[in-house]
Structures are given as structure tokens and as C-alpha cells.
Amino acid sequence: MSLQERDSLCILRLKGGESSALEELYDRYTPLLYPVALRILRRAPDAEDAVQQAWVQVWKSAGSYDPRRGTVAAWLLTVTRTRALDLYRSVASRKKAENQVNPEPPSPPAEPSRLAQQSELGERVQNALGSLPPQQRQVLEIAFFEGLSQSEVATRLGAPLGTVKSWTRQALMRLREQMPQEEWT
């Protein structure tokens, strides 16, 4: 049975209330999800809270997973990122109220070289990101890790909304093309 088939089976088992299915998914995907939450929230305790909330949400709402919208991995990522961004906004809002100062934004886009991973695949991902035109990479990173909508990204960058949409699509396509399937195995 392939990994994705196991993932799909896990979703079915989750719907049936099997907590062991969640444990299986947790072990498989937390190494992907936690770094995203940490990149957004920057504090490990906050990132752990976000990841915990995400897994509980997955447990309670496995029925909302729609395979037409993406893989199980992509869905888990969406749930975790949303929880992390919500928590970030909540923490930022509280700090602002307490200190009346602007909160620090989430981690700024990092240079690919600083993010270099030990693994060969990690390096390939970094190389693929680094090969994007700077504006396209910036659009991806501030949209995804800072949770800005397309119109907010356009305002931030002072670029027309249509251009931002086009950059987003081109950047994802190039990222996808530069990591062809056979290289991921």
C-alpha cells in the first residue's frame, strides 16, 4: 500500500474515531508541519500550541477533507498554517494592546543559503526556491508564512494585484517544475 493510500485510509479511520490513525499521521507529518508553525510563530511554545490545535482540529473534522482540493499532506498543512496564523494574530493583537507598539512580523524571508538543510532533498528545495526571481520568491514567502492575502501582498510590495496573482502562479509552477517527481524519490 502506498503512502498516500495509507493516508487516505487514515482519514477513513479518523472518521471512524480511531485515534491510532491520528497517531500515525502525527508521526508522519509533524516533521513537516511543526517547522512551518515555528517559522510563523518563532516561539516554540506557541508553535507547539498551534500544532496541537491543528491535530485536534484534524481529529474533529476529518470529514471536511476533500480529496479534490489536494492531498492529505496539503490539507494537514493548510490546517496547521491557519492555526499558526490565527495564533500569531491573536498574540500580536494582545501584545499590541499591552505595549501599544507594532508587533514584530513573522520571520522575514530568509536567504536560501541560511535555510540549507543537511539532506540532499532539502538542498534541492532550497536551490529551487533560490532560482526563482526574487520578487516571485518574496511573494510566495510573505503570502505563505506571513498569511497575507493577494491584495495585501500587492499593497506590501506596491505591485498591481494582477501582477501579484501572475507572480504567484508562475512561482508555484516553476517550483513544481524544478522539483520533478523523479527527483523526490
Partner 1 sequence: MSQHREEHLDLCAAYALGSLDEADRRLLEAHLEQGCAQCEAALADFSAATVLLAASAPAARPSAELKRRVMAAVRSDGPEAAPAPEGRRLVLERPRRAMLSWAWAAVAAALVIATAISWNTASRLRTELEAKRSQMTELEQRLADEQRWAAVLSAPQARVVELATTPQGTPDLKARVTYDPATQRAVVVFENFRAPTGHDYELWAIRGATPAPASLGLVKADDTGHAVLRLENVGDPATLGAFAVSLEPAGGSPNPAAPSGPVVMLGKVSG
Closer Cβ to partner 1, 47 or 88, answer by number: 47
Closer Cβ to partner 1, 88 or 125, answer by number: 125
| Least separation in angstroms between CB 147 and partner 1 | 7
| Least separation in angstroms between CB 113 and partner 1 | 12
| Least separation in angstroms between CB 152 and partner 1 | 8
CB of 149 within 8 A of CB of 82? Answer: no
CB of 50 within 8 A of CB of 82? Answer: no
Contacts of 6 (CB under 8 A, 6+ apart): 24
| Least separation in angstroms between CB 85 and partner 1 | 8
What nine digits make up the cell of 10?
487514515
Contacts of 113 (CB under 8 A, 6+ apart): 126, 130
Closer Cβ to partner 1, 33 or 101, answer by number: 33
Closer Cβ to partner 1, 45 or 158, answer by number: 45
Contacts of 66 (CB under 8 A, 6+ apart): 75
What nine digits make up the cell of 141?
514567502
